[in-house]
Amino acid sequence: MLLTLDLNDPRPLHEQVTGAIRRAVASGLVVPGQRLPPARELAAAIGVNANTVLRALRQLRDEGVLEFRRGRGVSVLASPDGGEVVRRMARELLEEAERYGHGPADVIEIIKELESS
């Protein structure tokens, strides 16, 4: 499972990890039914405390994305709602653009440019 974290993200670490796993599931890198690597392994790879990863996993379980099963670890239950994911990503994009001095109108321009190219 490939996880990507933003180094400039001001959000707390556990939220960033939640976002990274959510994106991985939403983009189809891990599919429903598939087991996630152990939390300790994830934590070691990302370079955070295992509790941070566990907090992220619990958050995703509450969202209905993951499922905890005794003895079988954590597996993907369902892909997060597509529309919700896009909206969330758009929000992140706008925040990111803001940081570089681009307003929503500029972002729309950029998207249109991408579409026409």
Contact 25, 75 (CB under 8 A): no
Nearer to another protein, 8 or 116 (CB): 8
CA distance 16 to 6: 8
Closest approach of another protein to the CB of residue 96, in Å = 9
| Alpha-carbon radius of gyration of the chain | 16
Tokens of 41: 């392994």
SS3 sequence, 65-100? CEEEECCCEEEECCCCCHHHHHHHHHHHHHHHHHHC
Closest approach of another protein to the CB of residue 34, in Å = 9
Closest approach of another protein to the CB of residue 40, in Å = 6
Q: Summarize as ranges the residues that interact with another protein (CB under 8 A).
A: 1-8, 29, 37-38, 40-42, 44-47
Closest approach of another protein to the CB of residue 29, in Å = 8
